[in-house]
Structure 1
Amino acid sequence: MFALSLEARARAYTAYAANSAFFPLIAAVLSGAQCGAAYADSVEAPRQIYVEHAFGFAQLLGESTPGFEAELQKYLLIDKAFAAPKVRLYTPLLPAFHICEPMQAVRAERQRFFLRTEVYAETRARLLSRSAADCVVLSVTTETVSRVESAFGLVSRFWPNAAAFVAHARAQVICHAGEAAAICYAAALENGRAEVDIFTRPEYRGKGFAMMAAVRFVDDCLAHGVEPLWDCFTNNAGSMALRERLGFLDCAAPYEFFTIAR
């Protein structure tokens, strides 16, 4: 496995932008917007590339190359040489070793959903009409980002620093009775597409705050020509119900997902 230079990552990004299995978090590593590593079977003319975000999300790209996949299997399952506590492997392209017992033991299924804007437009007013009178939207700025981090602890989960989070995450925070309750933001934003992430503090769950934050986030995306992408585990009943209510109805085929812990 050879580490890819920044120039090689940029070339890979150009090809990846047209990939039907495009994940903004992976693209962010290739573009340099977020931290991570990229390895290939060759420095000069890579046929297969493995991209790993600093938080652990990873993807295998290109054409299957047995020698490279054997090295990757050792890296992931034997040496566990990755930096993050867990690797979370998106696998629309399945490595040959996905059938081995250690991989099957950590297998799950995820699915991607796309917004139907006409459905969203029809339901948006109804959703917003249910907003609690004592809720406000907090603008995330350099002055308020420390408050957001204190409430949720996720400003640096994906983004390299607070400044990058403020500038690019398009975060929408719902405050209830003066306290930050829920947030919806872009875990990554690449090529006009945003990876949606939502979090509600435990004491505020079940009150509709996640929905309120998501509506504000989708509004912001649509106003700026950004396509929000919803991706979740197929057995995550809460996320599946929320995306359906919002109008994320068009879907790609479910795909295998492996969570490999050190």
Structure 2
Amino acid sequence: MLARLEESGYAEVKERHREPISQFPLINAVVSKVQKGLVYVDPVSKSSFIATKAGFSLFVGDESANDNGNFFEGLKDCLDLPNYVHIYSPPRSLAAYFEESSTYSRIRRRSQFRRYDPTVLREYESLLPAGFRVTRIQDVQFDRLENAFKLDFGGRYWNSREEFFQGAIGACILNEQNDPVAVCYSACVIEGVAEMDTLVLPEYRGRRFMRIVSEPFFNMVAAKCLTPHWDTFVSNKASYVLAQRFNLQLVREYDLLSVVLR
């Protein structure tokens, strides 16, 4: 049976499973108590299930000691978890269990990239259309960012709008009316790594805005001596092209198991 762990026990979980946790910055941010999340443990096997508020999660522990059916039922009973969770690099037996069950689930392949090259990028300045400009996210009113992108900046990953503005790194493209149209920001910053998230409004896609808004983000991260972390679907060919352009290094590929709990 899964039991929710108090924050005082997070350090022990992190120490016991340091390697897999370090591969996923959002998970690391939870057990490091940088961002709010949820940790459940099996008192018998000492296995743990770590989840962000947005549902990105990681199972760590002894796979052989878990009954996948009971584990899933235990997750459904954890009502603090979102209804839809995404499990990083799930154990093979757990993935197989969901493939054979009637529960809605799907597995997709993802890639992680990191940029270790601190070279300042300047091309975005010449690629910006006339009347558009790039600015820091902190120079745009929070409500304008939220109304434009609907990303729940102060709740999805960060603990509050204040922490988002104080701790997040990000760039935003503004149009001729000074309305936000594209953003690239850090979903978390933990142990020298900044996990990036990017969104371009639908009506502005196909204009290289993802590339344009990513360049100043990389510059901001490099200026703080941090390493940007880009996690994307393998099927997203555009991301691979950009990864090559930005001299990002492929760190690993893994499966992402998405499951409807209830």
Q: What 5-or-longer segments of structure 2 have no aligned partner?
A: none
Distance apart, 1:131 and its partner CA = 2.6
Change (3 A) 1:83 1:142: farther
What stretches of structure 1 of length at least 5 have no aligned partner? Answer: none
Q: Alpha-carbon deviations, 1:170-209, whole Å to 9, x = none?
A: 1211112122110001111111111110001111111122
Structure-2 change in CA distance of 1:85 and 1:241 (3 Å):
farther
Query: Which has the higher mean CA deviation after the structures are superposed, 180-189 or 129-138?
Result: 129-138
Q: Which residue does 2:113 correspond to in 1? A: 113
2:192 counterpart letter in structure 1: G
Structure 1 residue 219 displacement after superposition: 0.6
Deviations, residues 206-260 of structure 1 (Å, cap 9, x unaligned) = 1122212111111111100111111111012232322222222x21332111111
Whole-angstrom CA distance in 2 between matches of 1:144 and 1:197: 19
Q: What is the deviation of 1:105? A: 4.9
Q: Which moved more, 1:224-233 or 1:103-112?
A: 103-112
Partner of 1:63: 62
CA RMSD of aligned residues (A): 2.6
Match of 1:135 in 2: 132
Write out aligned runs for 1:75-154 (5 A).
Answer: 75-76=74-75, 81=79, 83-91=81-89, 94=91, 96-100=93-97, 101-102=100-101, 105-117=105-117, 121=119, 124-141=121-138, 144-154=141-151
Q: Distance in 2 between matches of 1:23 and 1:203?
A: 31
Say if 1:10 and 1:31, in contact at 8 Å, map to a contact too.
yes
1:8 aligned partner: 9
Change (3 A) 1:20 1:84: closer
Q: Name the residue aligned to 2:163.
A: 164
Conserved? CA contact 1:69–1:95, under 8 Å = no
Matched residues, number: 254
| Cα distance between partner residues in 2 of 1:20 and 1:29 | 10
Please give the alpha-carbon distance, in whole angstroms, between the structure 2 residues aligned to 1:131 and 1:223. Answer: 22
User: Cα 1:14–1:244, aligned 2, differ >3 Å: closer, same or farther?
Assistant: same
Q: Give the whole-Å Cα distance in 1 for the aligned partners of 2:156 and 2:147.
A: 13
Match of 1:41 in 2: 42
Change (3 A) 1:142 1:206: closer
1:237 aligns with 2:237: yes
CA distance in 1, matches of 2:219, 2:34: 24
TM-score by length of 1: 0.85
- The change in CA–CA distance for 1:236 and 1:80 in structure 2 (over 3 A counts) is farther
Give how far 1:95 is off.
5.3
Shift of 1:51: 0.2
Secondary structure of the equivalent of 1:55?
Answer: coil
Contact 1:75 1:82 in 2 (8 A): no
Deviations 1:86-119 (A, max 9, x none): 101101x51532212248951111111122417x
Q: Distance in 2 between matches of 1:158 and 1:114?
A: 20
- Offset of residue 68 of structure 1: 6.6
Q: Is 1:75–1:81's contact at 8 Å kept on the other side of the alignment?
A: no
CA distance in 2, matches of 1:15, 1:80: 23
- Over the matched positions of the two proteins, sequence identity in percent amounts to 25
Partner secondary structure for residue 188 of structure 1: strand
Which range moves more in the overlay, 14-23 or 200-209?
14-23
Q: Matches of residues 205-244 of structure 1 in structure 2 within 5 Å?
A: 205-244=205-244
